[in-house]
C-alpha cells in the first residue's frame, strides 16, 4: 500500500487525465490515443501497490465480477470452429454471403466486428486503472467523492462558459454535432447534465457533512457557490432528458439539506424532529421559483423543446423497435462488445433512416443484451444486486434519510433510469466516477 499523499496525488493526476480525454463514448476520438496509454501507466502503478490480502472482503466480489466481465469481452474475440460458429444465432446472413462469394468456411469469433471488439476490450484499461487506484491509494473515501465533485464542477463551469460565449470552438474538447450547447468536459449535452446532477448531490452531501468531517472553513463556504453554479448549469442545459435528470438531482440535493443533522440535534435537544419537512418544502418552492424565472426568460431550452415537440418524434424512440428485435436474435451470446453500430445496419428500417450516425442503441440495457448476450446480462444483474445490497445495508445502518443513503440511492436510480434512454456509462469519465462511487458505497457498509 502506498502513502496517503502518494495515493492522493496519483488519483488526482489520473482524474485530470480522464477529465481532459475521457468525455466521449465514441471509439474513434483522437483523445483515446493519449488516454489509454496514460491509463495503462496508472494501471501499472495500481498493480505495483496491489495486494489481494489488503482488499476488504466486501470489495472482493466487485473485483471478481469486473474480472469476469473482462474475460467475457476477450472470449468473444476467440475464433471458433466453423461448425460451432454456424450454430450461433443470427449468423445465417454472413454464411449465405460467404456461399455467394465462394468463400470457404473459416474460423470466426463471436464478435461480428472483431476490430471494434478489440478496441472495446482495450478501453477497459481505464476503469481497471480507476478500480486498482481506488483500492490501493490508501486515501479517505471522502477524497474520492471530492475528486468526482470537482470534475463535475469544472465540467459545469466550462459548460456555462461555452453557453456564454455562444459556442466558441476553443472551449470544446470534442467536435459535437450541436455547437453552442453547454457540454463542458463531455461530448454530449445529456451526459453533461447527468454529470452535473451527480456532482450536485455529491456536493450537497459534502457540504452537509463538512463540519463533522472537519473540513477547513474556506472549504465549507466554497461548497455553496459551487452548488449554485451546478444548479445554473443544469437549468441552462439544452436537452429534455438533461433537464429532467437535473431536476431530480436538484430535489435530491434539497432533501439532503432538509434532513436534520444528528450532531446538531444532539446539541440542541429542543430541535423538532419533523422540522426538515418544512425546510424541504421551502427549498422546493425556491427551486420551482428559480426554474419559472428561467422558463419565462426563455433560457431553459430543454423545456422549450419539451413543449414544442413530442418525445415520440425523437429518434431515440424510433430505434427501440429494431434494437428489441436485435436483442431477441442475439440474446444468447451477443454480437460482441463494440459491434452494435455494424449489426444495426442489418435491422434499421428504411422509414427511419437518419442522416445522423447511430453508434449506440440509446438504451444501454438493450445494448448490453445485444452485444454481450446472456453472460453480460447475468453480470449486470450481479453488479446491480451487489450495489443494491450495499445500499440496503447502508440504509439499515445509517437510516433511510441519511445524507449518504440519499446520495447513493439517487445515483443508482439516476444512472439506471438514464441508461434506459441514453448511454452515459459508455464515456470513460462516467466509468471512473461510478467505480469510485461504488468503492465508497462498499467501504461504508463494512
| Structural contact between residues 370 and 326, judged by C-beta atoms closer than 8 angstroms | yes
Determine if residue 16 is left, alpha or beta; phi over 0 gives left, psi from -120 to 50 gives alpha, anything else beta. Answer: alpha
Query: Which alpha helices (H) appear in 268-300, and where do they start and end?
Result: 275-296
* SS3 category, 80: strand
The answer to whether 415 and 421 are in contact (CB under 8 A) is no
CA distance 39 to 126: 5
Residues 184 and 4: their CA atoms lie apart, in Å, by: 30
3-state secondary structure 361-396: CCCHHHHHHHHHHHHHHHHHHHHHHHHHHHHHHHHH
Higher pLDDT, 266 or 128: 128
Q: What CA–CA distances, in Å, run from 327 to 98, 111, 413?
A: 24, 15, 24
Q: Which residue has the higher pLDDT, 281 or 148?
A: 148
Task: Find the mean pLDDT for residues 46-63.
Answer: 87
Cα separation values, 281 from 254, 257, 289, 348, Å:
9, 11, 12, 47
- How far apart, in whole angstroms, are the C-alpha atoms of residue 131 and residue 69? 14
- State the Cα torsion 301-196-241-424 to the nearest 10°: 140
Categorize the per-residue pLDDT at 266 as very low, low, confident or very high, splitting at 50, 70 and 90: very low
Q: What is the mean pLDDT of the chain?
A: 84
> What is the predicted pLDDT for the residue at 36?
96
Q: What are the beta bridge partners of residue 80?
A: 108
pLDDT band of 433, cuts 50, 70, 90: very high
Tally helices (H) and strands (E) across the chain: 20, 0
Give CA–CA dist 364/434, Å, rounded.
15
3-state secondary structure of 398: helix
Mean pLDDT across 127-132? 96
Confidence of residue 177 (pLDDT cuts 50, 70, 90): low
d(CA 41, CA 434): 21
Q: Is pLDDT at 214 greater than 90 in this prediction?
A: no
Residue 365 pLDDT level (bands cut at 50, 70, 90): very high
pLDDT value at 247 more than 60: yes
Question: Quick one: average pLDDT of 54-77?
Answer: 92
pTM: 0.88
Give residue 312's pLDDT band: very low, low, confident or very high (50, 70, 90): very low
What local confidence, expressed as pLDDT, does residue 121 receive?
96
Amino acid at each position: 500500500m502506498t502513502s496517503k499523499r502518494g495515493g492522493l496525488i496519483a488519483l488526482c493526476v489520473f482524474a485530470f487525465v480522464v477529465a481532459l480525454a475521457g468525455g466521449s463514448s465514441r471509439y474513434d476520438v483522437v483523445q483515446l490515443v493519449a488516454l489509454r496509454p496514460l491509463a495503462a501507466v496508472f494501471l501499472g502503478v495500481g498493480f505495483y501497490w496491489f495486494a489481494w490480502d489488503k482488499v476488504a472482503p466486501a470489495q472482493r466480489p466487485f473485483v471478481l465480477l469486473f474480472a469476469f466481465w473482462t474475460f467475457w469481452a476477450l472470449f468473444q474475440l476467440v475464433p471458433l470452429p466453423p461448425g460451432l460458429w454456424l450454430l450461433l444465432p443470427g449468423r445465417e446472413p454472413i454464411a449465405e454471403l460467404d456461399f455467394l462469394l465462394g468463400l470457404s468456411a473459416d474460423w470466426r469469433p463471436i464478435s461480428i466486428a472483431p476490430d471494434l471488439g478489440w478496441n472495446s476490450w482495450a478501453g477497459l484499461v481505464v476503469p481497471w486503472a480507476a478500480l486498482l487506484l481506488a483500492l490501493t491509494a490508501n486515501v479517505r473515501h471522502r477524497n474520492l467523492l471530492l475528486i468526482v465533485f470537482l470534475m463535475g464542477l469544472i465540467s459545469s463551469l466550462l459548460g456555462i462558459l461555452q453557453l456564454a460565449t455562444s459556442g466558441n470552438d476553443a472551449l470544446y474538447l470534442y467536435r459535437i454535432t450541436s455547437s453552442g450547447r453547454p457540454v463542458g468536459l463531455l461530448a454530449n449535452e445529456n451526459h453533461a447534465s447527468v454529470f452535473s446532477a451527480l456532482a450536485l448531490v455529491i456536493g450537497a452531501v459534502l457540504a452537509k457533512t463538512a463540519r463533522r468531517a472537519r473540513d477547513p472553513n474556506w472549504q465549507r463556504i466554497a461548497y455553496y457557490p459551487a452548488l449554485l453554479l451546478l444548479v445554473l448549469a443544469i437549468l441552462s442545459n439544452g436537452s429534455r432528458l438533461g433537464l429532467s435528470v437535473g431536476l431530480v438531482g436538484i430535489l435530491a440535493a434539497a432533501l439532503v439539506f432538509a434532513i436534520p443533522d444528528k450532531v446538531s440535534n444532539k446539541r440542541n435537544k429542543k430541535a423538532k424532529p419533523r422540522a426538515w419537512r418544512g425546510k424541504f418544502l421551502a427549498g422546493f418552492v425556491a427551486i420551482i421559483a428559480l426554474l419559472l424565472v428561467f422558463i419565462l426568460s426563455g433560457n431553459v431550452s430543454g423545456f422549450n423543446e419539451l413543449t414544442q415537440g413530442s418525445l415520440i418524434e425523437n429518434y431515440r424512440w424510433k430505434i427501440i423497435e429494431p434494437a428489441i428485435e436485435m436483442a431477441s436474435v442475439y440474446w444468447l451470446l451477443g454480437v460482441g462488445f463494440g459491434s452494435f453500430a455494424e449489426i444495426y445496419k442489418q435491422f434499421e428500417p428504411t422509414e427511419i433512416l437518419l442522416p445522423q450516425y447511430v453508434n449506440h442503441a440509446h438504451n444501454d440495457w438493450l445494448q448490453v443484451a445485444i452485444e454481450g448476450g446472456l453472460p453480460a446480462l447475468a453480470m449486470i444483474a450481479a453488479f446491480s444486486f451487489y450495489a443494491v445490497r450495499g445500499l440496503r445495508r447502508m440504509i439499515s445502518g445509517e437510516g433511510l434519510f441519511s445524507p449518504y443513503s440519499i446520495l447513493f440511492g439517487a445515483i443508482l436510480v439516476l444512472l439506471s433510469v438514464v441508461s434506459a434512454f441514453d448511454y452515459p456509462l459508455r464515456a470513460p469519465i462516467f466509468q471512473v466516477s461510478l467505480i469510485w462511487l461504488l468503492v465508497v458505497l462498499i467501504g461504508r457498509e463494512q
